[in-house]
């Protein structure tokens, strides 16, 4: 069952779902909460072999920001960003993050791997893609995505403890992981 905006507000006021979330009630809609970009954008460094191989660790570099923390995402390009918000999901709630339609209508695709597992704690890394023929300026504080929360039929017996648990800021892929 998806949580309503009223339930999200109540849980935020109780200190649940998002760290320091009681200050975010004005970002809650009918059934989701708008989340904002944080600081620290990254891009992939060119692979040594010229090919991204999932069996090899890839390297990232920070994108130089303007004095206001903004970057310009060139047309037809990809970067990583992060939510300013730090989620803290209990074992009985999972979530889904998606881009906002008003941004998508301008060519910005946000988050293509949108599942947030029950028990996840951390900032959410966003995959940012510019499908447009024109560059897009992105600023910390821009509202670019929304999170919907779902109540599980019972708490997860094994809440999320994966490679991204506790991540802070923009986090690149942690592939390859040989420990699962």
Catalytic annotation, residues: 127
Interatomic CA distance for residues 50 and 26, integer angstroms: 46
Interatomic CA distance for residues 20 and 86, integer angstroms: 8
Tell how far CA 43 is from the center of its chain.
15
54, 175 in Cβ contact below 8 A? yes
Interatomic CA distance for residues 113 and 46, integer angstroms: 22
Interatomic CA distance for residues 67 and 45, integer angstroms: 23
CB-based contacts of 61, cutoff 8 Å, min separation 6: 42, 43, 45
């Amino acid at each position: 069952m998806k949580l309503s905006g009223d339930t999200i507000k109540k849980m935020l006021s109780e200190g649940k779902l998002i760290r320091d979330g009681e200050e975010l009630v004005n970002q809650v809609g009918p059934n989701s909460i708008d989340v904002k970009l944080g600081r620290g954008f990254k891009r992939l460094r060119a692979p040594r072999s010229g090919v991204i191989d999932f069996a090899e660790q890839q390297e990232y570099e920070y994108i130089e920001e303007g004095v206001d923390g903004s970057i310009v995402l060139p047309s037809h390009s990809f970067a990583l960003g992060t939510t300013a918000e730090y989620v803290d999901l209990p074992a009985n709630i999972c979530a889904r993050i998606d881009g906002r339609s008003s941004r998508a209508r301008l060519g910005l695709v946000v988050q293509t791997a949108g599942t947030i597992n029950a028990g996840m704690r951390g900032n959410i890394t966003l995959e940012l893609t510019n499908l447009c023929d024109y560059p897009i300026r992105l600023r910390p504080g821009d509202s670019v995505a929304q999170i919907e929360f779902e109540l599980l039929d019972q708490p997860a017996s094994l809440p999320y403890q994966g490679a991204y648990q506790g991540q802070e800021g923009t986090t690149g892929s942690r592939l390859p992981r040989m420990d699962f």
